């Protein structure tokens, strides 16, 4: 029996490894195997033919051949049986096959428990990501609500600063005085200005800034 890694540098396996229990243990990266065999015949050794198979990988027997070499590369992780039948020149086959058990030991990252750990970690990361996403989303919503509340307060403060109740009261009194002294033109002029002032204030209640030209018109009024 010879084994090799991917470089296909074949090396013999010591018989003591498998001669007692006929089990050959190979690592995941040494999964190429080559087996030399022969059938004992005292009359016509050259007439001996063989059939082989690697049960677990391919359960079909090979065609009868005089070839005395079996090669199989890239054997997946798992448990297999190399089986060999021989036939002499008289056409008599061995009743039971020679069997060699071969076990390809997986790497730790190819084991079921490693995949289980990976799945658990993945689920945990997904859960954490979802939790962080909704937490961030909630924080953004709370921040947006605080900003909107602050904007409303600023708008109300701006409106209060523009239209002080005492100022409005005094302006209306001024219009009333002009009416009393029979000066309708001046009263109407004052009325138009305060009307423009009110319209400008109510029009900009949803804003905390405006163009300089509008601000100058507001102050002028």
The predicted-structure confidence for 75-127, as pLDDT tens digits, reads as follows 999 999 999 999 998 899 999 999 999 999 988 887 888 889 999 999 999 99
Give the number of other Cβ atoms within 10 Å of residue 52's Cβ. Answer: 22
Between CA 59 and CA 76 the distance in angstroms is 15
Alpha carbon dihedral 171, 172, 173, 178, in 10-degree steps, equals 90
Q: Considering the entire predicted model, what is its pTM?
A: 0.54
77 vs 20: CA distance, rounded Å: 23
**pLDDT tens digits for 160-174?**
566 677 777 888 888
């Amino acid at each position: 029996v010879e084994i090799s890694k991917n470089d296909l540098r074949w090396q013999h396996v010591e018989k003591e490894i498998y001669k007692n229990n006929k089990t050959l243990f190979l690592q995941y990266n040494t999964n190429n195997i080559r087996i030399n065999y022969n059938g004992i015949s005292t009359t016509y050794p050259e007439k001996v033919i063989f059939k082989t198979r690697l049960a677990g990988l391919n359960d079909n027997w090979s065609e009868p051949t005089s070839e005395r070499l079996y090669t199989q590369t890239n054997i997946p992780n798992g448990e297999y049986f190399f089986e060999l039948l021989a036939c002499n020149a008289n056409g008599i086959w061995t009743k039971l096959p020679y069997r060699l058990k071969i076990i390809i030991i997986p790497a730790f990252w190819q084991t079921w428990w490693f995949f289980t750990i990976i799945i658990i970690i993945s689920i945990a990361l997904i859960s954490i990501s979802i939790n962080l996403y909704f937490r961030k989303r909630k924080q953004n919503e709370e921040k947006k609500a605080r900003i909107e509340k602050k904007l409303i307060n600023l708008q109300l403060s701006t409106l209060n600063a523009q239209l002080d109740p005492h100022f409005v009261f005094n302006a209306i009194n001024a219009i009333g005085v002009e009416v009393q002294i029979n000066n309708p033109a001046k009263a109407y002029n004052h009325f138009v200005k305060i009307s423009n002032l009110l319209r400008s204030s109510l029009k900009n209640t949803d804003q905390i800034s405006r163009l300089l030209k509008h601000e100058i018109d507001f102050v002028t009024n």
